[in-house]
Structure formats: C-alpha cells, structure tokens
Structure 1
Amino acid sequence: MIRNYLTIAFRNLLRQKAYSFLNIGGLALGMAVALLIGLWLQDELSYNTYHANYTYLAKVMKRGNDKGRNWSSTSLQYPLATELQTTYKSHFQHIVKASWVQDYILSSGETKISSTGVFMEAAAPEMFTLKMLKGNWSALQDPHSIVLSASSAKALFGNQDPLGKIVKMNTKVQVQVTGVYEDLPRNTELHEIKFFAPFSLWASLNDWIAERALNDWTNHFLYLYVQIKPTSSLEQVSARIKDAELNQIKKLEGLQKQVALQPQVFLHPMPKWHLFSDFEEGKPQSSSVRFVWLVGLIGSFVLLLACINFMNLSTARSSKRAKEVGVRKTLGSLRTQLIGQFFSESYLIVFLAFGLALVLAKLGLPYFNEIAAKDMRLPWNQGWFWLGSILFILITGLLAGSYPALYLSSFNPVKVLKGTFRAGRLASLHREVMVVMQFTISVTLIICTIIVYNQIMFAKNRPVGYARDGLITMDMKSDDFYGKYDVLRTELKNTGVVAEMSQSMGKITEVASGNNGFQWKGKDPNRDDSFGTLAVSHEHGKTVGWQFVAGRDFSREYASDSVGMVINEAAAKFMGLKNPVGESVSWTWWRTQEVKHYKILGVIKDMVMESPYEPVEPTVFYLKGFNGTVNCINIKINPAVSAREALPKIETVFKKLIPSAPFEYQFVDEEYAKKFATEERIGKLAALFASLAIIISCLGLFGLASFAAEQRTKEIGVRKVLGASIGDVWLLLSKDFMRLIAIALGIAVPSAFYFMHHWLQNYEYRVRIEWWIFALAGTGAISITLLTVSYQSIRAARLNPARSLRTE
C-alpha cells in the first residue's frame, strides 16, 4: 500500500512540475533556515561545555552598593584570594588566581609571533580540562614554564617537537615549553587564549604586587576562578563566602569607605558566563539569552511560513483532487486510507525538500558564519544530527501535511461526482488568516531591520571629537619600545609620511584607566569623583586632532605642563566649573597616598572612546610620569600620502629601531567600527530573515491567488462576456489580497513599534522611530503583494471567456 501511495505521489509531482517546484523549493528554503538557526542555537547553548567540569566551574565576583547605586566587579584583591584559599578551601576542588588576558610577543630564534595569553596558577590546565597534545596537566608547576596552544606551537616551531624548547616573552624573560594543548573552540569564553603561563611568573615580573598588593584590600587587579567539590552546589558555596571580604576589612583601620560599600562575594557559574555576562545594578541581565530565544523564534516562524505555503498550495488545488477523492471513496476507500495517501505525499515532498535544504544549508553556512561571527559546521558524522533530522522531517511533515490530508479526505463523494461541490467562503478563511500571519511577520521584520540600521547609522554619524582618518595605533608589547620615543618620532617624521606621533595609556578607542581621589574648588563632598584618567605624551592632541573649546594643549615650551591636565566637556560639566581653565585640581594616588596638584590647561570636545551608544565618560588627560605609564603608540599618517605608500616606510623604521617586536598595527577607524559589531550582526540577521520571510510569503500569496483564480473561473468568463477589461478583472482579484495586507499592516506596525521602542531603551544615545519607516515598509509590502498577485490575475483575465464558461 505504501508503495502505491508513493507511486501516485511521484506521478502527481511529475505531472504538476510548477506546483512541485513551489512546494519543494519553499519548504527547502524554510527547512534550510531552520537548520542553520538550529546549529546557531546549539552553538550558543553549548558555550563552554568543552570543559568537562563545566557545571562545577565559576568566576569569583563581588557586588555592593555605593551611595544607592548597585555595582558588580570581576576584578579582585590579592588578600581576598588568600582568604578564600585558606579559610574557605574546604568547599573547593581548585582556586586559581589569574592575570588579565593580554597580548605578548613570543619568540624563538628569528621567529616572532604576537599571541594572546594569561598567567594562571598551576591547577588551571586540570581545572579547565585542557586536552593536552604534549605534556600533562601539571605542566605549569615550574615558575618558568609555558603551555602553548597547538596553533601557537605550530607558528613558533613548525613541525618540530616543541617540548623543552625555550621561548622568550616580550624579549624579557625566558620560559620553557612544558605542554601543548588543543586549541579551544570558538564557543568557549577562553577561546582567544593561545598560551598559559604560571601566575607566580607574572607576579615576579610586576614588582608592585609583592611590594604593595599582597595585603592591600583596595587594590583590585586579579581574577579568580574556582572549581567546587562535587558534593557541594554553587549556590551553597556562594552563600557561604558572601561575607569573606566584609568580615576581614571590618577588623582593619582606614577601610571605612570599603566597609560602607558592603561588598558581597559571590560565584558566577560558567554556564552563565556567555548568556548572562552583562551585569546591571549588581545583577546579571538576560538580554543575551532573550536574543538567542528571539532568533530561535524567528527561525520557527520562517519554517512555519514554509509549512503554511505547503498547506495553501495543496488546498488551492483541491478542486483538481476532488474527483479523485470522490472516485476513491465510491470504490470503497476509507478516509483513513485517503489520509495515509495524502500524508505519504506530504512526507515525500518534505523528504525531497530536506535533501535540498541540506544542500542550501551547506552552501549558505559560510555566509551565515560570517554574519553570526561563528565557526559552525554541519555535523555529518554525528548520530544526534541524523536522529534530529529524522525527528525534524517527521514534525515538519506532520505540520505541513495535516491540514491538507484532513481537508482533502473530507470531501463528499456524491457532491463531488455530481459537480455540485463548492469549497465555500469559509473554506478559504484559514488561508487568508495564514497569509495575514505571513505578512505580519514579514512586515514586522522589515520594520525592525530598518530601525536597527537607522540606530547603527545614527551612532556611526555621531561626532567623535577627533579625526580617525589615517590614524593607526600600536601596542607597545616589547620593553624595547620604552626609552626610544623621541628617536622613533624623529625618524618617522623624517620619512615625510608621518604627520605626528604620540604615546598614550590604552588605545584611542577605549578609556583604559579610571581613578578617584580628586578634589577641586566647590566639589560636593558626597559626590563620587571617579574619572577616566589617561596618561599621554605632549603631541597626543595634535596626533588625534583634539578640538578645543577653551584653553590650550600641552606644550614642550612650558615645563609647568608636567602638572597640567586637559579635560573633556563631560568632566567640566561633572565638576560644575563654568570657567575651568586655570582651576586647580588635586589628585591623591590610591597606591601611595601621594598628592599632586594639577592645573587645568584646556577643555576639549567630548571624544567618543567607549560605547558610541552611551554618554561620554568624564575624562582627564595628563602627561606620562606621575601615576601613569603609556603602552600604546599612535601615528597620524600624512594626509597627502596614501596608507599603502606610508606603511612600508613606517615598518622599515620600526624594524630598524625595535627589531624585537613584529610590526603590528590597527587602523583606529576599524577599531571604532568594531563597537557596532553586535548591532550590525542583529541588523544583518534581521535583514536576512526578513528577505527569506518575504520570499516565502510571496509563494504563499501565489498559491492563494492561484486558488482564487481557479475558484472564480466562470465568474471571470461571465464578466468578460459582459465587457469587463483585463484591468477590471485584475482589480477584482487583487482587492481581496490588498485587504489582507492592510490587516497585516494593522497588526505589524504597532507590534514592531512596541518591540523596537523597548529595544532602543537599552541605548542612551538612540534614534527616534520615524513615521516614514512604517510608510516605507507598508508601501513595500503592498508593492510586493501586487507584483505577486498580478501574474495570476492577469493570466486569469486573459483566458478566452468561451473556454472559461465551458469549465463546468
């Protein structure tokens, strides 16, 4: 019987090639989207599961309250780590101190690479269950050891065995390779780390840790990772260590301010690092996980639209199958047998569509990976993938084929064979509802895409307060950079391709340091005095193109500028100074309690250095020396010279003066563009889904238009005989669809406004939702509808009326 069903199904597909193409193509497109989104969801929800101890790992964090404002932090003090490792060690399998992740120069012989690494205590490889290709988990016991990723080992040593080889870090210290681990996958929080080195080595390279930080509860500089024992739960351990800091600082003098913050220590579990990484008011936010489920919901909608098309196209041809059903029922076929037949046709189409969907998914995966910033692959060799695929086919076949099977098998054989069967007005109601649903989803996605794009462009066009063009920045990764600034600047300017050069603390596109301890005339003693604090060289303003609103820049002609500072408008406003130039500001350095008195030299326009969607942070710039070191070089290329011509000459100078470091640079405009990556990713995904939803919805409209023209064949013939033109018939068939699109617009417009209004509330600096966005989306939807419907309408209108009237 099954064989007979499939034979009939194949014959129907071959007989109706256009119908088969639309059905299989539409379903394949929807299934391909569902496959890609399924892979994306699996990748997002399996973040960090690479680590075998995933459910027992956590990051130690703190939260508290500062004058009514809740805060949270991942940066911790050394004595807090000591307290946990002594008083609370019974709750933990491992407690591991770690430095911040940073780029370093690794060299072996003449080979030099820039690699991102971290310094951790010896238990790190075991705690994170690194897959060791060479060596073992105890590889960091030696304080002068290093564990390399496979890619870093390959870059440094080629095909040689790296174990035992000597590597220089930043041309400063020698370490021995004691292990090589498999590169961490992209869907782990640690995937950028290309080497691990001992924390004790990092501490020895930074004298201030031993001198000032070991017992300093005010110095936040390290990170702490833990693995709890299997017999404990993260919630229980987190509750027990809550007052680990507070209990200690209450006993010490001079820490009343710290006590007033009411610090609470807690564990942030690894399963939440990715989707609950953003903290607001001291609590993790669910915005990332909401985005994941939103994308999954959109993927489900796209698949649903494809299934709706299948139903529409199947029921639109109901009159073609009515006589077949009538004859079969007359000859004794049971309804269950007819349902089985139609389901077999449905599953055949779904099976063929799935095969095509795999091809489309394979072809589209590189583009999708680029948009989503992923490294996903179709898991052909995984049993769960094929098991899931079978389940996917079964569900899709059931979803797409249930209504056609139940609807077509319900025909009355007597009415069908007498020729009196009519589907009736209510029979098409469900199809109209489905078309409204399709276009509601499509128009909503179009509106969302436009608003996301406008928000991105609004932020991109925001005045940034400096000149990004021709500006490059470099990290000073080698000690050889230091002490050579003046000669390097002179050599570069002598090439004629460099307009100016400066040094700074951190990149131009970030506020790398923040401090308090400031006092000025008229300051409110109850007000927080935290500022961004950036050390720079004299030429920094000329290099980046500061725009002064008052006062002047640093100058080498005035020795007093060593105690001068330049502030931004946000800082001037924060201080409440009407005429800040010339005012005195004292700064107490928290590490040494040394006080230095500054004079405000000038006020510059706010530079957008952090998020372009947020207000500019009050920031002060001061000359390198007291309290500040520099770690970046900034170069302004001569505007009269192209970057292609300038960079080789700049590289020659660097290789001559600093041969120990690879010549690596970033264009500031490209670094700034990275700040829009998340929003652009959302916009591209929304545009992609909107386009696919429109394509699939048009197939649904085509099916409904076909059904309408087929049902009104005789009416059209009569109207033509009575003198109706092609335009009259076109209008007759089109107006019903325009009514459906109007209903869809009525639902989509307020829905899209509601969702996007709430989405925009996440940004302080945001675009207004303009009326023309909805007008544009509505006009586009109407135009697409008319184009889609017109083919069937004009085709029906051009039929010979004599032929139309003979149809019955």
Structure 2
Amino acid sequence: MFKNYLKIAWRNLWKNKGYTFINVGGLALGMAVTLIIGLWIHDELSYNNYFSKKDKIAQIFQSQTFNGEIGTGPAIPIPLERALRDGYGDNFKYLTMASWSQPQYLEYKETSISRTGNFIQEKAPEMLDLNILKGEKDGLREINSIMLAESVAKALFGDEEAVGKVIKVNSQYDMVVSAVYEDIPTNNSFNDAHFFMPWEKYLTTQDWLKYAIDNWGNNSFQMFVQIVDNATMEKVSTTIKDVKKNAEEDGEEFNPQLFLLPMKDWYLRSNFENGKQVGGRIKNVWLFGIIGAFVLLLACINFMNLSTARSEKRGKEVGIRKSIGSQRGQLIYQFLSESFLVVLVAFFLAVIIVLASINGFNDLSRKEISFPWDSGVFWLVSFLFVLFTSLLAGSYPALYLSSFKPVDVLKGTFKVGKYAGLPRKILVVVQFTVSVAFIIGTVIVMQQINYAKNRPIGYDKEGLVQIPTMSQDFSGKYELMRTEFLNSGAVTEMSASSSPTTEIWSNRNGYTWEGKPEGFQEDLAWTEVTPEYAKSLGLKIIKGRDFSREMATDSNAILINETAMKYMGLTNPIGKLVKDSSEENPDPPMKIIGVVEDMIAQSPYEPVKQGWYIYDKNGNSSYYNLRLNPNQSASQNIAIIENVFKEHFPDIPFQYDFVDQQYGKKFASEERIGTLSSIFTALAILISCLGLFGLTSFVAEQRKKEIGVRKVLGASIFNVWNMLSKDFLKLVIISCFIAVPIAYFIMNGWLQEYPYRVILKWWIFALAMVGAMLVTILTVSFQAIKAAKANPVKSLRTE
C-alpha cells in the first residue's frame, strides 16, 4: 500500500514540474538553513566536551563593589590559593593557579617560534585530562620542565624525539621537554595553550611576582578547580563566598564575593552585569535557533499554500477515490506519504547544499564544522527531522483535501467556499511578517556595527604597527632600537608601552589626590609609556603638555584622559599631585602634566575607561609602537623594519600587528552575526518569494477565463496586473504592520546590551516595509503580466 502511495505521489510530482520545483526547492533551502544552523548550534553547545571532567571543573570568579557598582571577573590574588587549600581543601580534588595565556619565544638550535601558553600548577594536566602522546602526565613536577602541544613539538623538532630536549624560552631560561600532548581542539577552552610551564617557575621570572605572593590586593592571576565528586558548584560557591573578604584588610570596603563559574558556562554564559550572570554567547545560540526554525516554517508554509491552492485539481481524484471506497484516513495517509516523499527529496538536496556551502560557512563563522557522516545520532535526528517536517508541511493539506465530499466534486457543484482562501492568506501574512522582521533586524545589526566603527577612537590607527617585546633580549634596548628604526626611514616615530594599543592589561586603585571624595573607590586603567607615546599614536593633548625628555621631573609625571579628569572630579587637573596611599610604597607623588583626548582601548561599544599614562622609568614595556612612514608603501616599511629587527634580535621571530586590524577584530563577533543574519534573511525572502510566485501562478490559472473575458471587454494589461497584484500587496502591508512592532521590541531589547548604541529611527522600518512591497510587486508581476498578455481566445474557446 505504502509503495503504491509513493508511486502515485511521484507521478503527481513529475506531472507538475513547476509546482514540484518550487515546493522541493523551497523546502530544500529551508532545510539546508536549518541543518547548517543545527550543526553550528551543536558545535556551540559541545564547547569544552573535550574535557572529560567538565561537569566538575570550574574557575574562581569574584565580584567587587566600586562606588555602588559591582564588577565581576576571574582575576584573583595569589594568597587566595593558600587560604582555600588550608581552610577549604576538602571541597576540592584539584586546585591550580595559572597565569593568563601569554605568547613566549621558544628556541631550539636554529629554530625560533612564538606560541601562546600558560604557567600553571603541576596537577593541571591531570585535572584537564590531557591526552599525553609522549612523556608523563605529571610533567610539571620539575621547575625547569615544559609540556608541549604536538604541533609545537613538530614545529621545533620535526621528526626528532621531543621528550628530554632542552629549549630556551624568551632567550632567558632553559626548559626540558617533559611531555607532548595532543593539541586541544578549537571549540574548547585552553585551545590556545600550546605549552604549559610550572607555576613555580613563573614566580621567579619577574620581581613584581615575588611581592604578589602575599599581596591580597594584586588581582592578576587565575585559579581553576575541580570539586570533589559529592559536592555541587552552588554549595562550594556558598562555602567560599567570603574567604577573600575576611582575609584582606580592605575586604569590607570592596566587599569581594567569591564563586565558582562551571566550565560549561565559560563559553556560553560568561557575561555579568552588576554581579548577576546575564548570559553571553548563549543568546546567539537562541537567535540562530529561532532563525532556523522560522526559515523552515516559511518553507513549510509554501508547501501548505501550494497544496491547498491546487485543491480543485486534486478534487476529482479525491471524489473518485472516495466513491470507490477510500476512507478519509486512507486519503490522509496518501497525502502525508506524498508530503514525506517531497520532504525526503528536499532533505537530500539540502544535504548537497550544506556540503557545498559548509566551507564558506566555516570561514564566515570562524568554525571547523564537518559534516557528521559517521554519526548515528545525526542520522536518527535527521530522520525524525524529516518526519516532523513532513507532518508539519503535509498535515493541513492532507486534512483539507481529504474533507471534500465526493458527490459535490463529481457533479461539478463543489465550491471552495467564501473563506476557503483565508488560511492561505494567513500563512502568507505569517511568511512576510517573519521576512520583514528579519530585514529590520539585519539592518539594525549592521547599523550598530557601523555606528561603533565610525566612533572617534582618539588616535590615528592607520599606519600604526605594534611589535611584542616579551623576551628578556629587549630589556634595556629601547633607546637603541628607537634610534635604529627612526634612522631606517621606515618609521617616523616610536614609543613603548606596557599594554597593546587596543587593550588594557592593568587596572589599579589605592591612590589619593586633592579633592578626592571621602570613601571614593577608584578603578583606573594603568599604562606605562615612554615619552613619545602620544606622538606615535597621534593622541591629542587637550590640556597641559606632553611628556618631555628635556625635563628630568617628567620621570614622575603622568598624563590622564578626559574621562579620568571627570572621574576624579578635577576641572583644572594640571599640576595636581596623586600619591599611592599604601604605606609601604616609598615613591614620591606623581604630577599631572597633561590631559589627552579619550582613546578607545577596550570595547568600542563601551564607554571609555578612566586612564592614567605613567612615565615608564623602569623599562616595563610589552610593545613597541611604530608610526610608519606615509611616503612609502606599508610592505616596503615592514621589510625595512624586519631587517633592522633581525640585525639586533636574530634569534627572535619577527612579529608585528597592524593596529587597525587589531581594532577591527573588536567588531568580529557582531560582524559575523550581521553577515550570517543577512544571508539567512536573503534566503528567507527567497523562500517566501518562491511561495508567492507559485501561489500567483495558480491564482492566474484559476482565473484565466475571467481574465479572458475582461480582456475581450477591453481591460488593459495594467487593469489585469492590478487585479491580480492588489490582493497579495494587501497581505504584505498587513505583514509589515505586524512585523514592525515585533521587530522594534526585540531589537530595542538587543541594543540595551550596548551602552554605546544606535538610536532606532523610523526610516529603518519604512525602508523594510517599502523593500518588502517592492519584492512582492516584482514577484507577482511576472505571473500577472504573463496572464494579462495571454491570448483570450485560448482561455475562452471551450465556452
């Protein structure tokens, strides 16, 4: 029986090729979008699945209060480790301190590479359950040991045995390779950890770390834990909540509250506002999940509309089947079988579309998604997906077509009824409501990105290059390198700084100044710079003056930005003194000599943070900032700079970043959302137009005799076009008025996440409405004009 139904269905589809193309093509597009979004969502939700103990691993976070506002982050002080081990150790199976991921120079013989990794305590590889390929899992027990990712070992040693080899790190210290582990896949935390070195070694690398060991106020480190099997994240968080508050002297002032952020939340739910977890990337998962569902719904609506529109053509078939004994249930089963066949063919076409587009999708989404050919779960889900889509798309047509009365159909007295077309009209309204809402959403996302991109950033990012100076080899060579670079002709100015131009690496408090309000808790972005910093970046001095090498007193001077001037409550800050309020700091007060225009160093969607620029007298630079010669090409300048660099640092790989490219990365996430939304919106509109095109062709077919009579009586092409178009245009106008408030509500809520955001304007919504109407007119016009130009003799010759 089922085989017979499929044969009939196939013949019916083959007979009506245009209808089949629209139905199958629309469904295939909708299913392809849903499939590829489903693969993307699965990749997002499976983040950190590489770690077998992810349900028990967490990172210590803390919330602190500054002037009534709660800030939350993972930075913690070193003494917290001992406090947790001694007082709360029975809650943890593993507890490991770690540095932030940092690039280091790794050298072996003639090979020198730069890779990112961590200093971390010795139990971390066991906690993370790294896949050790060679060596031992406890490879960090010796202070001069290093564990390398497989790709790094290959880059350094080629086919040589890595374990036991000695490599030099940052030209500063020798480390023995103790183990080689499998590279951590990209959709996991620590995927940029290409090496691990002992935490104890880290504490010996720089003098400031020695002072941080007992300093509760230095929140410059990370801590990862694995809780014991019988504990819960919530219970342990409650237990350790006030450990830091009770231990540090100013605990009451800043009210630090500790808690555990589970590994499963690191990627998808890591955003906090005023101490409360408010989500994160999980919102994108919901967004694209909803988009996928709606695109599939649009394709299913096409099937329903076209199937019911052809009801009169199938009416006689239904009448004959019923007259010879077919039950309604059998007819429903037949039409659902037909639906299943259409959906199955569409699914295989969708798979082909996904395979053809997955590489491009990966490039856009920065993913490494592969088609899961060998996944039984995927094929089971796909079968259920096909079944569900078949029922969704075919249930209404099946119920509708099987309800015809055979006597009325066969006598020719069957009438579809005054309101028979109402469900189709409702479905068209739904289709275009979704499409118009997609258009509005996409336009607003792109507007927000462009709004932030066009925001004044406070410095000239074009022609500005930064070079990392992490190695000990750079120590004490700034003046020499500045002279060399300037004399090369490729650089017009150069400076050094303790943070890259596009980031803030250090925040400080504990300073006093004249007029500071009682109880004011400052939070300052702290950057140490050489005197040429403002000149090399093109910063504008709006009050006072810049640093000067000629003035010896400037070694104790600072520049502040506009936001800091307002933040500190200073109307005339020039000459004001600021002093470290801690008793153990013997440094003299620092004098404010100038105010610079605000520069964006963090998110372009956030307000500029209050910043201090301190004269670097200790050589604490992490980056050289080079202003390229504008009279030469960038490639020519870079080639010259590389030659000068290699002359002085032959064993260090030459690395550089264009600041404008680094700044552009701050928009990467939003741009990906915008680009993908644009593509999905275009596909949604295309699917809607396919349905509208098919529906128009059937309406024109049904009314061809009416059109013939009107033409004989003198109707013009415009009259016929207007008759066929106006009904559809009315439906789209209704869709627009439904879509606009829905889109406004959703997008206005989305924009609230950005303190620096675009204002919603009426023309965005008007543009979307006009665009939808134009698309409708163009889609309908082809069939309408074709029907209007047809010879009326052909349509009336049977009368």
Normalised TM-score (structure 1): 0.96
Instruction: Please give the secondary structure, in 2, of the residue aligned with 1:426.
Output: coil
1:500 to partner: Cα distance: 1.0
1:13 to partner: Cα distance: 2.2
1:555 to partner: Cα distance: 1.5
Identity %, equivalent residues: 49
Contact 1:478 1:660 in 2 (8 A): no
Contact 2:577 2:592 in 1 (8 A): yes
Deviations 1:141-179 (A, max 9, x none): 222111111111111112222121212111111111121
Partner residue, 2:225: 226
Instruction: Please give the secondary structure, in 1, of the residue aligned with 2:136.
Output: coil
Partner residue, 1:502: 495
Deviations 1:661-704 (A, max 9, x none): 11111000001111111211221122111101100110121122
Residue 262, structure 1, aligned to residue 229, structure 2: no
Instruction: Please give the secondary structure, in 2, of the residue aligned with 1:204.
Output: coil
Partner residue, 2:559: 566
| Matches of 2:252 and 2:590, distance apart in 1 | 30
Partner residue, 2:397: 404
Residue 747, structure 1, aligned to residue 738, structure 2: yes
Contact 1:584 1:597 in 2 (8 A): no
Q: Which amino acid aligns with 1:142?
A: E
| Matches of 1:316 and 1:752, distance apart in 2 | 30
1:590 to partner: Cα distance: 5.2
Partner residue, 2:590: 598
Deviations 1:352-384 (A, max 9, x none): 111111111111112222222211111111111
| Matches of 2:325 and 2:797, distance apart in 1 | 31
Partner residue, 2:131: 131
Q: Which amino acid aligns with 2:597?
A: K
Q: Higher mean Cα deviation, 670-679 or 507-516? A: 507-516
Partner residue, 1:675: 666
Q: Which amino acid aligns with 1:624?
A: D
Residue 248, structure 1, aligned to residue 241, structure 2: no
Residue 216, structure 1, aligned to residue 215, structure 2: yes
| Matches of 1:695 and 1:54, distance apart in 2 | 42
Mapping of 1:222-371 within 5 angstroms?
222-249=221-248, 255=249, 257-371=250-364
Unaligned runs of 5+ in 2: none
1:287 to partner: Cα distance: 4.2
Deviations 1:594-627 (A, max 9, x none): 342222222221111111112211212121026x
Instruction: Please give the secondary structure, in 2, of the residue aligned with 1:59.
Output: strand
| Matches of 1:33 and 1:101, distance apart in 2 | 36
C-alpha change, 1:534 and 1:246, in structure 2 (3 Å) is closer
1:714 to partner: Cα distance: 2.8
Deviations 1:635-677 (A, max 9, x none): 1100111101111110000001112211111000001111111
Deviations 1:442-478 (A, max 9, x none): 1111111111111111111111111111100011121
Deviations 1:37-95 (A, max 9, x none): 11111111111121110111111122243442223231112221101112211121111
Contact 2:512 2:581 in 1 (8 A): no
1:248 to partner: Cα distance: 3.3
1:728 to partner: Cα distance: 0.4
1:592 to partner: Cα distance: 4.2
Contact 1:496 1:638 in 2 (8 A): yes
1:802 to partner: Cα distance: 3.4
1:776 to partner: Cα distance: 1.2
Partner residue, 1:252: none
| Matches of 1:596 and 1:584, distance apart in 2 | 13
| Matches of 1:630 and 1:69, distance apart in 2 | 32
Q: Which amino acid aligns with 2:389?
A: T
Q: What is the aligned counterpart of 1:647 among 618, 638, 644?
A: 638
Q: Which amino acid aligns with 2:438?
A: L
| Matches of 1:754 and 1:517, distance apart in 2 | 43
| Matches of 1:530 and 1:594, distance apart in 2 | 21
Partner residue, 1:695: 686
1:535 to partner: Cα distance: 0.9
| Matches of 1:46 and 1:666, distance apart in 2 | 32
Partner residue, 1:728: 719
1:715 to partner: Cα distance: 2.2
Q: What is the aligned counterpart of 1:392 among 382, 385, 396?
A: 385
Partner residue, 2:114: 114
Partner residue, 1:46: 46
Contact 1:586 1:595 in 2 (8 A): no
User: Which of structure 1's runs of 4+ aligned residues deviate more than 4 A?
Assistant: 589-592
| Matches of 2:247 and 2:553, distance apart in 1 | 43
Partner residue, 2:182: 182
Residue 635, structure 1, aligned to residue 634, structure 2: no
1:29 to partner: Cα distance: 0.6
Instruction: Please give the secondary structure, in 1, of the residue aligned with 2:70.
Output: strand
Contact 2:524 2:609 in 1 (8 A): yes
Residue 415, structure 1, aligned to residue 414, structure 2: no
| Matches of 1:434 and 1:220, distance apart in 2 | 57
Contact 1:96 1:124 in 2 (8 A): yes
Partner residue, 2:550: 557
Contact 2:272 2:279 in 1 (8 A): no
| Matches of 1:807 and 1:510, distance apart in 2 | 79
| Matches of 1:188 and 1:105, distance apart in 2 | 24
Partner residue, 1:527: 520
1:589 to partner: Cα distance: 7.0
| Matches of 1:158 and 1:807, distance apart in 2 | 84
Residue 659, structure 1, aligned to residue 650, structure 2: yes
Residue 584, structure 1, aligned to residue 572, structure 2: no
Instruction: Please give the secondary structure, in 1, of the residue aligned with 2:55.
Output: helix
Contact 2:244 2:251 in 1 (8 A): no
Mapping of 1:147-166 within 5 angstroms?
147-166=147-166
1:261 to partner: Cα distance: 2.5
C-alpha change, 1:85 and 1:796, in structure 2 (3 Å) is same
Q: What is the aligned counterpart of 1:432 among 399, 416, 425?
A: 425
Partner residue, 2:35: 35
Instruction: Please give the secondary structure, in 2, of the residue aligned with 1:562.
Output: helix
Q: Which amino acid aligns with 2:191?
A: H
Give me the CA root mean square deviation: 1.7
Partner residue, 2:145: 145
| Matches of 2:662 and 2:280, distance apart in 1 | 24
C-alpha change, 1:365 and 1:61, in structure 2 (3 Å) is same
Q: Which amino acid aligns with 1:246?
A: K
Instruction: Please give the secondary structure, in 1, of the residue aligned with 2:446.
Output: helix
| Matches of 2:584 and 2:620, distance apart in 1 | 16
Instruction: Please give the secondary structure, in 1, of the residue aligned with 2:203.
Output: helix
Contact 2:433 2:736 in 1 (8 A): yes
Aligned length: 799
Partner residue, 1:614: 606
| Matches of 1:513 and 1:790, distance apart in 2 | 63
Deviations 1:539-591 (A, max 9, x none): 1111111112222211212112112222211122223333322x222221759
C-alpha change, 1:590 and 1:199, in structure 2 (3 Å) is farther
1:501 to partner: Cα distance: 0.9
Q: Which amino acid aligns with 1:109?
A: K
| Matches of 2:417 and 2:291, distance apart in 1 | 33
Instruction: Please give the secondary structure, in 1, of the residue aligned with 2:595.
Output: strand
Mapping of 1:710-721 within 5 angstroms?
710-721=701-712
Partner residue, 1:796: 787
| Matches of 2:712 and 2:582, distance apart in 1 | 95
C-alpha change, 1:287 and 1:226, in structure 2 (3 Å) is closer
| Matches of 2:146 and 2:491, distance apart in 1 | 39
| Matches of 2:696 and 2:588, distance apart in 1 | 80
Deviations 1:176-211 (A, max 9, x none): 11211111122212211111111111112234434x
Q: Higher mean Cα deviation, 645-654 or 719-728? A: 719-728
C-alpha change, 1:95 and 1:287, in structure 2 (3 Å) is closer
Unaligned runs of 5+ in 1: 250-254
1:713 to partner: Cα distance: 2.6
C-alpha change, 1:79 and 1:50, in structure 2 (3 Å) is same
